[in-house]
Amino acid sequence: MKRIIYLLISSFILNLNSFAQNNTEKLTLLMIQSNFKEAYNECNILLNKEPNNPELYYQKAIICKQLYYYLEAIKSIETAIRMNPDNVNYLSEYGMLLLKKEKDNEAFKIFEEVLKKDSSHLIAGIAITNNYMKQKKFEEAYKILFALYSNDSLNGYVARNLGVCSIKNSDSRKSIKWLNRAIDIDSTDIKAYEYLAMVYAAKKNYDLAIETLNRAIAIDDHNIELYKKLGDTHLIRNHNYLAVAAYLKAFELDPSDHFMARDIGFCYFRTNKYEQSKYYLHIAEAGFLDAQVYETLGDIYVKLNQPDTSIYYYNEALELLKPDAAALFDVLTSKAESYYHLNDFKKSIEVFEEALQVETDDFWIKASKNKIRIDIASIYNEILGDRQMALQYYQKVTKTDIMINKDYYEYAQQQINLINEQLFFENKR
């Protein structure tokens, strides 16, 4: 009888262990499948059964991060660390969560602690080197990256960043070595090809730069930026026909790129292909205002013996080049910046608004107006703490009728997403 009871108890314990293992496997599977809502519920069930299991708190932190529950994620990872303070993966995850909450200084202290415990820890090492590179401390970044590479010589990302650091340190020899190494590790690393071509072009090794870009294009023949860079490299050498061919391919991939149409038009003009130049410059003209486009169109119509039309386009160019509006705009902008440096932020915004009211079709002033909108948004967001007003100004930058500079547009969109995320989690507290 005792033996039967013993066997029943043993069987129960084995089944319980199997149940726990199966549930842990289920949690892992849910995370692999990116089913984080269900994984969150499953993790809480397991924690009720195993409240002293630090690995479950670690997994919960990862799940909460994916669900944007950052406060709960931080609470979970802090619990895991209290239970196992020497686990570098827990510490690294904590650092990543602190970065999400924009607590950069705290995060990098954590990452430094991780590297002290494990000098080969990739996540911590990459995070610290990225921070060093932002601070333009390229020598410090290089040392850490080299240590990471020494532990993992097949990591192409690390090799490429060693190349980037070498570029920033003006060491072309090392940059070429590391970027070629990155390509050896991963022959599809398009960024490595781009950086390598840039280094060759800077050294005036244009043939090597073009060869490198063509190798990248053979891998990714729908990459618009590669064709643009190829065209730019040909243009540096005044090889306008070759530049046109590359630019035309870029334009074929994105026919809405009016700036590319402008560059094609300019290249055709330099090769005396006036009808082709006119065609592409009219496409550019429909997309944005540019005095040089109008001036070149005026020159084209002179060549085509159409003086009335050429006068029209010269007048259009002169309208954009009128000095009064530009002078007023410059003075107002400088005045607003002076108020900013005096910490009179409300007055700074007021004068910036006056600059925005200056009426002109000048392309560069329009682009500068978007820069002003970004500056006002930054004041509201970072200094006055008014995220809603900041959102309004960033959204103005993304409106199609004033979307002139692509970099400004992309930056404003990133800030909109970030502020919306911050507002969302503030409301979740």
Task: Please work out, in degrees rounded to the nearest 5, the angle formed at the alpha carbon of residue 178 by the alpha carbons of 176 and 179.
Answer: 65
Inform me whether the pLDDT recorded for 13 exceeds 50.
no
Is residue 69 situated within a structural domain? Answer: yes
Contact 280, 261 (CB under 8 A): yes
| Token pair listed for 125 | 């090492």
Q: Which region holds residue 344: left if phi is over 0, alpha if psi is between -120 and 50, else beta?
A: beta
Is residue 344 situated within a structural domain? Answer: yes
- The enclosing domain of 66 has a CATH number of 1.25.40.10
- Straight-line distance from the first to the last Cα atom of the chain, in angstroms, rounded to the nearest whole number: 58
pLDDT (mean) for 348-366 = 82
Read off the pLDDT of residues 86-97 as tens digits, 9 standing for 90 and up.
Answer: 999 999 999 999
Residue 336: burial class (beta carbons within 10 Å; 0-12, 13-18, 19+): buried
Is residue 256 situated within a structural domain? Answer: no
Query: Is pLDDT larger for residue 342 or for residue 247?
Result: 247
Q: How far apart are CA 5 and CA 82, in angstroms?
A: 40
Inform me whether the pLDDT recorded for 235 exceeds 90.
yes
Q: What is the DSSP letter of 402?
A: G
Last residue of a domain, one of 97, 117, 137: 117
Is residue 136 situated within a structural domain? Answer: no
Name the residue among 379, 388, 315, 325 with its Cα closest to residue 357. 325
pLDDT (mean) for 306-324 = 74
Is residue 79 situated within a structural domain? Answer: yes
Residue 185, CA distances (Å) to 68, 143, 211, 212, 379 in order: 34, 20, 19, 16, 45
The lowest-confidence range among 5-19, 167-181, 354-368 is 5-19
pLDDT (mean) for 27-47 = 89
The pLDDT assigned to 19 comes to 40
Number of domains in the chain: 2
Is residue 92 situated within a structural domain? Answer: yes
The lowest-confidence range among 149-153, 206-210, 338-342, 392-396 is 338-342
Is residue 361 situated within a structural domain? Answer: yes
The range of the structural domain enclosing residue 75 comes to: 18-117
Inform me whether the pLDDT recorded for 245 exceeds 60.
yes
Alpha helix stretches (DSSP H) within 254-384: 258-270, 274-287, 291-303, 307-320, 323-341, 345-356, 363-378
Is residue 376 situated within a structural domain? Answer: yes
Which amino acid does the sequence have at 12? Answer: F
pLDDT (mean) for 294-300 = 89
| Token pair listed for 152 | 């993992």
Q: Which band of pLDDT confidence, cut at 50, 70 and 90, is reported for residue 412?
A: confident
Last residue of a domain, one of 101, 117, 133: 117
Claim: this prediction has a pTM higher than 0.75: no
Last residue of a domain, one of 99, 117, 135: 117
Q: How far apart are CA 289 and CA 107, in angstroms?
A: 45
Residue whose entry in the numeric block shows the structure tokens 């703490």:
385
Read off the pLDDT of residues 377-399 as tens digits, 9 standing for 90 and up.
Answer: 899 988 888 888 988 888 888 77
- The enclosing domain of 337 has a CATH number of 1.25.40
Inform me whether the pLDDT recorded for 115 exceeds 70.
yes
Read off the pLDDT of residues 251-290 as tens digits, 9 standing for 90 and up.
Answer: 999 999 999 999 999 999 999 999 999 999 999 999 888 8
